[in-house]
Amino acid sequence: MLRLKRLIHHGNSISHAIIGSRIIAHGQDLLVPLPSPLLAQWSTNRFFLDIFKRPNKDEILKERARITDEIKRGYFDDIKEIKQHGGKISLANKVIAPALEAAKFPSLKVEYPDGRTSKFPIVSNGEVANADVLPNLKASVLCLTFREYSQGMINSWSLPLLDTFNASKDVELYQVSFIDTKFLCWKPMKKLLLWTMRSSKPDGSNDALRRQMVYYFGDHYYFRKELGIENLCTGYIFLLDRFGRIRWQGSGMASKEELTSLVSCTSLLLEEK
């Protein structure tokens, strides 16, 4: 008790000239003394305000809407849809979308098996595509897969496309695999996974066009919402022009008519100036 009283007495005896607060007045930096109890109270209040800072109201509403949305739909709902229509969420476009009406593909950062990273399809100033991502390309095809179940669907699109445009240098074909499992997103496991994928031989390695495997690690909820993707068990394919605009899209297993449409629309993009 005696030691506690000495500490309190020592604290109260600190000079007000030492404990103060700086303010700027008339261009001069002034030191304004503050009473020790007031300073202590201010510091304590600030400490607790930092810890218990109220989150932004918009952020709370946004997260609440996400939770509600995810609760409404689960894995078994996806499987049920797959059994009903084989993953064909909607029919593919029959004709190419007009450039002025086409929506831009959301920005996405992906990783290559060799450790490189890219963002695509980033559009600079709304006119020129990012040279590091889509250099001088007239068309790019993105195949999105969220579950291993959809790999066969992706192959039904990508393999015929590789055969058709195997000599073209103006087309790029990417398969984007989304990995959201926390264990696999853990940095050591992610490196191991990418190293494992690095040893696999790419499709059509002797051709101008080959399927490039890239990976996205982490949460993809808001990315999917921008594209209207709900079912994670099916595959999705998007045809983009040089400015990152979605000119054609499809899902599920490819039909002969849809493949013909994709090839036709890709050829039209190659002819655009």
- Residue range 211-263, pLDDT digits in tens: 899 999 999 999 999 999 989 999 999 999 989 999 999 999 999 999 999 99
Side-chain half-sphere of 226: how many Cα atoms within 13 Å?
10
Q: Is 27 within a domain?
A: no
Helix (H, G, I), strand (E, B) or coil at 269: helix
Q: Is 5 within a domain?
A: no
193/20: higher pLDDT: 193
Specify the pTM.
0.70
Q: Is 50 within a domain?
A: no
In order of 166, 214, 242, the CA distances from 207 in angstroms are 6, 19, 21
Q: Is 51 within a domain?
A: no
Which of 15-19, 53-57, 208-212 has the highest average model confidence (pLDDT)? 208-212
Which of 42-51, 54-63, 193-202, 251-260 has the highest average model confidence (pLDDT)? 251-260
Q: Is 122 within a domain?
A: yes
> Both tokens of residue 4?
């506690």
d(CA 155, CA 139): 19
Following DSSP, what letter does each residue of 189-220 receive, concatenated?
A: HHHHHHHHHHTSPPTTTTSSS-EEEEEEES--
To 5 degrees, how large is the angle CA 168–CA 169–CA 171? 80
Q: Is 56 within a domain?
A: no
- Report how many domains make up the chain: 1
pLDDT at residue number 53:
56
Residue 23 reports pLDDT greater than 50:
no
Residue 154 reports pLDDT greater than 90:
yes
pLDDT at residue number 34:
45
Q: Is 62 within a domain?
A: no
Q: Is the peptide bond before 113 cis (omega within 30 degrees of 0)?
A: no
Q: Is 53 within a domain?
A: no
- Of 270, 268, 247, nearest to 99 (Cα)? 247
Q: Which residue range(s) make up the domain with 147?
A: 79-271
Q: What is the 3-state secondary structure (H, E, C) of 100-153?
A: CCCCECCCEEEECCCCCEEEECCEECCCEECCCCCCCCCEEEEEEECCHHHHHH
CATH of the domain at 89: 3.40.30.10
Q: Using an 8 Å Cβ cutoff, are 117 and 214 in contact?
A: no
Confidence at 69, pLDDT banded by 50, 70, 90 = low
- Of 273, 237, 229, nearest to 255 (Cα)? 237
d(CA 70, CA 63): 11
Helices (H) and strands (E) in the chain, counts: 9, 11
> Both tokens of residue 98?
């007009």
- Residue range 157-202, pLDDT digits in tens: 999 999 999 888 889 999 999 999 888 889 889 889 888 888 665 5
pLDDT at residue number 200:
61
